[in-house]
Structure 1
Amino acid sequence: MTSTPASDAHSDPSSGVEPDPSSDPSSGAHPDPSSGTPSEVQVVLWDGVELLDFAGPGQVFACADEGRAFRVRTVAARPGRIRSQGFLTVEPEGILGEGRPPRVLVVPGGASETAIADVELIRAVGRVGREAEVVLSVCTGALVLAAAGLLEDDMGATTWHGAVDRLRAAVPEVAVVEGPRWVDNGRVVTAAGVSAGIDAALHLVERMLGAQVMRETARYMEYSTGRFNANDEVGEDE
């Protein structure tokens, strides 16, 4: 894959955006296999969250390196079951902000207006997001990042195609691009809608653990890596 520095998002809004590896302190970082301790991934849930937005990336991280690399936990602002957008009821494992910060914080989309109206949740996302090594938003989760103050004016970002205008209005100083599967600023990664979260999570697995582990993870999931490129347009034919 070609690599385009995130700063170029302002000059080339049609491109997929990846960080400059030489300036990204987390590039190539991965858990020490000898420690036997997987890195923690926390996936934020709330009522109305989009199912594939959180289940897709969660599955990628859970099976990466045959399940050795990451421990995936679902978290919410408070105890109690949540109902995803559609049909699934989930009981999160923990409370967002309690305990040590995760290596990766995943913020999915769905009923983003519900999340944004939850002051306690937004404060926790902002606090934990600043402590995590990487924050990954999926779909309208980018709007949640914006509300939490995690999208800064030197960043590029993407989101679900139906929310691009809303994100531009929320963070006019950020270069919001429509089309790429993900935009990687180094510490903050934003993915386009729904299934694009799988691509972005695979991208992070490659960034953290290498191309071979990413390919093995995609193969295990029987997920085609033919679409696995930041420059692929959302909805583009295979």
Structure 2
Amino acid sequence: MKFSANLGFLYTRESESLIERYSLAKADGFFGVETPNPYCVDVRDLQMKLNCLGLHQVAINSHQGGTEEIGLACLPDKCQDFREYLELSINYAKALDCKKIHILSGLVKNKQIPFDDYERMYISNIKHSVERLLKEDIMCLIEPINNRSVPCYFLDNFNLAKKVLKLIECPNLKLQFDFFHAQIINGDLTQLFKSVEKHIGHIQIAQVPDRGHPGTMGEINYDYILEFVKHRKYDGWIGLEYK
């Protein structure tokens, strides 16, 4: 199995420098990394660091937008901003030879806007993202994120994710299956995994409830889960997104 170090969570105590975290991951024996927010560093510096260390950039998140935002895809008044930031994300992915971008959905804070308007905007922006990323040979990922960790997050359940996957129906659109979020949102992890298995493009793991190391005591038995995933013939990277 291939494990990638998520540099938004790992090594953050050791260093505030994203560049230094790449070196720390390499020193610990990782060959792959994923970076939620690479945009805080000039892409040329990241590119040079990756090449120097011989690391593979597995995935990045789309640009989150402003400091109070966690993505823009669902926001009806931010469509143009979303598409401009998507181009920046594509530029980073291409420079880093990264083949997966997770599109952050954004927060539903304005209750005066009907939920259907958020949903229509999200589906429209995901369609646009899929089309753009397909041209660049980059996979478009969407991920349900639990509302306890990220209050008001738009894509907060698997039923909505399944709806989006069915509506768009493109091989380039995949699900990022994070067992941490899945346990909090749904539970019944192996059955949930099977129900979306054909759509899974990336996996992430952390222990529940506090996003700790998967080997620590918690709600999820990762000895069982990882053996289960192995026997499901998943051959992609597994992101270590824990504190």
User: Scaled by the length of structure 2, what TM-score is found?
Assistant: 0.34
Larger Rg: 2
Structure showing the higher helix proportion among its residues: 2
